[in-house]
Amino acid sequence: MNQFLPNGTPANNLGTGAFIFDFDTTNGSVTNPTELSFPSNLLAYGGEFSLDSRLFYLDLNTAQNGVFGERTLLQYDTTSPNYQSNPITIYQTDPLDSTDDVSRGALQIGPDGKIYYSNDLKNYLSVIDQPNNIGASAVFILNGVSLAPGTNVNEGLPPFYNAFFTPRFSFVEGCSGNPTQFTADALATCPNTTLLWNFGDSTSSTNTSTLINPSHTYVNPGDYQVSLTITTPLETFTIIDTITVVNQPNAGTINDIIVCDDLSNDGLATIDFSLVSQQVLQNNTSNNLEISLHYNLTEAQQDFNSVAPNTELTAGIYYVRLDNLNSNGCYDVTSFEFNLVNSPIANPIQTQYTCDIGNDGIETIDFTQAASEILGSQNPIDFDVSFYSSNNDAQNRINELPYFHILNATNSPFYARIENSDFTSCFEIISFDFELIEEPQIPFINDFEVCDDDSRDGIEIFDLTTIRDQILSSTASNWDVSFHPDQASALSNSNALPDNYQNTQAIEQIYIRLANNGPITCIDTQPFTIVVNEKPVITVTDPVVTCPDDEVTLTASNNFDSYLWSNGETTRSITTTLPGIYSVTGIDNNGCTDRISTSINHYDLTQLESIEIEQFTIRSNSIKIDVTGDGPWQYSTDNFIFQDSPVFTNLLPGFYTITVRSQTNCNTLTVPATIVAAPPYFTPNEDGFHDYWQVTAIETEPDASIYIFDRFGKLLKQLDPLSVGWDGTYNDNPMPSTDYWYLVELADGRSFKGHFSLIR
C-alpha cells in the first residue's frame, strides 16, 4: 500500500517492513526510501501522516491476515534527525491481557484534521485527536467515535479522501515571542497564481505576507483568525482558520543536585522531582504546564525518551523540558548537574572497653578504635567519623566529642556519625557502649628470699608459684600472673620466666605481670627482688670420748640467732653424759641454716676377761690377767707399784689383789687372785712352826680333794681343804721322817701332784 502526504510530497509503503519515500508531484517519481525501525516481531499495516505532513503514524501487529494479536501505534517525527530509529509509542495493547487483542487496523485522516483508526469487529473508531502534536499531546482516544448500532468496523478505511482537492493551509502553532510557521496549499504554487496571508494580528506591522511558507511572530498569546486568499486564473479561494498562540514556557534555573547514594553505593539514585519542578516552574504562572526529564539535550528538544519517575540514575548532566500543554511544541529546556556521592556505611561496632587505671571510675577513653571499626574497609580520606553523647547532637552535628574523652560512667551510650567528607549531609549514625574494665592491682610483695645451698654459689631455684598464689589470693583467682626479666617484657607479655626459675645473680629484680581475663587485657606490672642469702657456717665442739659418767658440754659457734639440737635443746651449748651423735642446726637472721654433727663416745670400762695362774710352785708361780675395755692399762699387785704388763711372775703362793687401771682413768679394776702351792716340808714337833702340812691357800678351793700317800702309794690321809692340815700321823701313829706324795684335785678338774718331806 502506498500513502501520499496531504501536501502531495512524501509517501509511505507498508507491509512486513515500512518505508517513507520522497514523491515528486511533478512527475510522480518515488525516491529516497527510508526504512522505519520497529520490533522485529511486529508487522506493519496502516499508516498516515498528520495534516501538517510532519508526523507519521504507523499501525503494527504481532499477527497478520486479520488474526487477532497485540497492537502497537507508533509516531515518527520526520523533522527530527534519525527519526526512523526513535519512534514514540502512542498506544499499545497489554501483552498480558488477551481480551484487548485486536487485528491489524487502517489509519485515515479526516476533513477535521484528525486521524481515525479502525478496530476490527468493534462498533467504534479510535481517534488521534491532535495528530500535529508530538507524543502524548497528540491525544489518542481508544473509543473516539461510536458507529450506528449494529455496525462494526472491519480492518480497512477509505483509502483516499477527496477533500484534499479543497485548498487549505497548514501551520505549526507557535508560542508567544516565537515564530509560527505557515504552509500554503500546493495550489498556490500553480502558474499565474497569487496569494495573500492575513495573520489576524492587528497590532503587528507585519500582519500580512505573500510568501508560500511564511512565518509570523505573535507577541501576545491568544486566538488569532488567519486567512489565506489564493487567486488562480480561474478562481479565487479564501481559507480561514483560527490558531491559538500560547505562552512560551520559561524554565527556571535548577541548582545542581547532590544526592547520597544508598548503602549499596552502586552509583544509582533517584532524583527528588518535586524539588526540580519547583525550580523549573518558578518563572511561570500558567498551571497547564508539563515537566519531563531527559538524558540529553536532543531527547529533551525532541520530547523523546523521558525519564520515568523514581528511575535510578547515574551522576551526570540531565535536561528538563517544560511544555505548555495548550500548544504543539511550546517548550523550554534547562539543565542541571546531578552529583551522586557515596553514602557512608556505619559498620556494626562492638561495645568498646578501656582499662580503668586506678579503678576510680574515671578514665580518658580513645575513640580511635571505635572509628576504625565503624569505617571498616572504607577509605578514611572519603569519610569522617565523629562522636556525640546523644542522638540529637549526632543528627544536628553539634557538641562533637573529642577523640580523647573523659568517661565518668560505665555503659554510657555514645553516638557515632559517619559522613561523606565532601558532602556531610550523607551520613549514618550508630550507637555503642563504652565500658571501663577493672585494672588489676598487684598487692605489695616482699622480697623473695631463699638461702644458698651447700654449693654457696649464690644460685638457687625459686618457686614462683608461691608468689602467684600470694597475688591471686587477694585478686580474682582466674587472672593470669606471669614473671618477666624486665619491664618491657612484662608490658609486651614476652620472655616469660618459668615457674621454677634459676637466678643468675644473688640479688636480682624481676617483674610481675598481672592480667585480667576480660574483653580487653588490662594489666599491672610491679618489680620485686629475689635474694639468695649467703649460707652461714656453723662449728661445734669436736667429737668427745670420755668416761661414761663424765658430763660433756657441746658448744656451737656464736654466729646464729637460734639453735636447735637433735635432742630438742635450743641453746647454743648443751651438757650431757649420754653418748651418741649430736647434731645442731643454726638459724641466722635470714632464716638460713647450717647443720653440723659431733659425737660423744664413752670409753669402755675395764672388765676382767680372764685370769691365768701358774701355781703349785714355790718361786715360779705367775698370774696373767686379761681385761677388756679401752686401754692401755697398768697392773699392780699392791696398788702402789704398777706395771704395763698383765703378767706377774715369781710369785709366792698366797692371796693377791690385782689392780688394773686404764689410762682413761674411767675406772679401776681389782681382781683377787690366789696362788695355791704345797709346802716342801713340815716339822710336826709341836713348836708352833710348820706343825701341819696343808696346801697353801687351798681354802680358796673348798671343793678340792687332797690326798697324801707314802712313797709306796698308800693313802695315808685325805685332807679337808678347810682343815689345818696333816699332823704327820697315821692312825694316830707318827709317821717317820721321809718324803711323802700328794695329789690335789680341784673342782674344775685340774690336779696337781708333788712330794714334800716330813722332818722330825
CA angle 468, 469, 474 (to 5 degrees): 100
Name every residue whose Cβ is closer than 8 Å to that of residue 191 and which is 6 or more positions away in sequence.
none
pLDDT > 90? residue 13: no
Write down how long the chain is.
760
87 within 8 A of 37, measured Cβ to Cβ: yes
pLDDT > 50? residue 200: yes
Domain's final residue, options 415, 438, 461: 438
Q: What is the per-residue pLDDT across 512-529, written as a single tens digit (0 to 9) for each?
A: 999 998 889 999 999 999
Residues 233-261 have a mean pLDDT of: 89
- The pLDDT of residue 542 is 94
The reply to whether 207 falls in a domain is yes
531 within 8 A of 449, measured Cβ to Cβ: yes
pLDDT > 50? residue 4: no
Give the whole-number percent of the chain exceeding pLDDT 70: 96
- The pLDDT of residue 165 is 58
Domain's final residue, options 225, 245, 265: 245
Distance CA 727, CA 693 (A): 7
- The pLDDT of residue 696 is 87
Band of pLDDT at residue 80, cut at 50, 70 and 90: confident
pLDDT > 90? residue 262: no
**Are 191 and 335 found together in one domain?**
no
Backbone angles phi, psi at 89, to 5 degrees: -80, 120
The reply to whether 403 falls in a domain is yes
- The pLDDT of residue 10 is 45
Distance CA 93, CA 103 (A): 11
pLDDT > 90? residue 335: yes
The reply to whether 154 falls in a domain is yes
The reply to whether 568 falls in a domain is yes
The reply to whether 174 falls in a domain is yes
Query: What ranges make up the beta strands (E) of 147-210?
Result: 170-172, 179-183, 194-198, 208-209
Range of weakest confidence among 416-425, 468-477, 534-543: 468-477
From the list 272, 311, 273, the residue with the least C-alpha distance to 292 is 273
As a whole number, the mean pLDDT across the chain is 89
In terms of pLDDT, which residue wins out, 5 or 367?
367
From the list 105, 91, 94, the residue with the least C-alpha distance to 140 is 91
Give residue for cell 580513645: 366
178 alpha-carbon distance from chain centroid: 74
Q: What is the per-residue pLDDT across 100-142, written as a single tens digit (0 to 9) for each?
A: 788 888 898 887 789 998 887 888 889 999 999 998 889 999 8
Question: Which cell goes with 481?
Answer: 600472673
Name every residue whose Cβ is closer than 8 Å to that of residue 384 and which is 6 or more positions away in sequence.
418, 419, 421, 424
Residue 644's identity, in one-letter code, is D
Distance CA 325, CA 312 (A): 27
The reply to whether 443 falls in a domain is no
Give residue for cell 619491664: 487
Distance CA 390, CA 461 (A): 58
**Are 581 and 617 found together in one domain?**
no
Question: Which cell goes with 387?
Answer: 562522636
Asked if residue 221 has a cis previous peptide bond (ω within 30° of 0), the answer is no
Q: Supply the range of the domain harboring residue 239.
A: 166-245
Band of pLDDT at residue 671, cut at 50, 70 and 90: very high
- The pLDDT of residue 543 is 95
**Are 81 and 97 found together in one domain?**
yes
Distance CA 354, CA 367 (A): 10
The reply to whether 452 falls in a domain is yes
From the list 739, 748, 747, 751, the residue with the least C-alpha distance to 693 is 739
Residue 46's identity, in one-letter code, is G
Domain's final residue, options 286, 318, 341: 341
Number of domains into which the chain is organized: 8
* Residue 601: HSE in the Cβ half-sphere, 13 Å Cα cutoff: 11
- The pLDDT of residue 410 is 58
Range of weakest confidence among 10-19, 345-354, 483-492, 652-661: 10-19
- The pLDDT of residue 411 is 57
- The pLDDT of residue 6 is 46
Distance CA 53, CA 5 (A): 6
Q: What is the per-residue pLDDT across 570-594, written as a single tens digit (0 to 9) for each?
A: 999 999 999 999 999 999 999 999 9
- The pLDDT of residue 760 is 85
Q: What is the per-residue pLDDT across 161-178, written as a single tens digit (0 to 9) for each?
A: 554 557 888 887 778 888
**Are 560 and 529 found together in one domain?**
no
> Which run of H or E residues covers position 370?
helix 368-375
**Are 77 and 149 found together in one domain?**
yes
**Are 651 and 747 found together in one domain?**
no
Residues 141-149 have a mean pLDDT of: 88
- The pLDDT of residue 467 is 94
**Are 627 and 705 found together in one domain?**
no
- The pLDDT of residue 5 is 44
Question: Which cell goes with 510?
Answer: 624481676
- Expressed in angstroms, the distance from the first to the final Cα of the chain is 215
**Are 381 and 412 found together in one domain?**
yes
Distance CA 281, CA 301 (A): 18
429 within 8 A of 417, measured Cβ to Cβ: yes
177 within 8 A of 250, measured Cβ to Cβ: no
Name every residue whose Cβ is closer than 8 Å to that of residue 238 and which is 6 or more positions away in sequence.
227, 228, 229, 230
Query: What CATH number did the domain enclosing 707 receive?
Result: 2.60.40
Question: Which cell goes with 210?
Answer: 505573500
pLDDT > 80? residue 508: yes
pLDDT > 70? residue 379: yes
Instruction: Tell me the Ramachandran region of residue 121: left when phi exceeds 0, alpha when psi lies from -120 to 50, beta otherwise.
Output: left
**Are 393 and 380 found together in one domain?**
yes
Give the whole-number percent of the chain exceeding pLDDT 90: 57
- The pLDDT of residue 161 is 55
**Are 11 and 106 found together in one domain?**
yes
Distance CA 284, CA 535 (A): 110
Largest CA distance in the chain: 243
**Are 40 and 133 found together in one domain?**
yes
266 alpha-carbon distance from chain centroid: 31
**Are 46 and 100 found together in one domain?**
yes
Query: What CATH number did the domain enclosing 635 receive?
Result: 2.60.40.1080
- The pLDDT of residue 25 is 67
The reply to whether 59 falls in a domain is yes
- The pLDDT of residue 501 is 97
Burial 45-76, CB ≥16 within 10 A → b, else e: bbbbbbbbbbbbbbbbbbbeeeebbbbbbbbb
In terms of pLDDT, which residue wins out, 172 or 266?
266
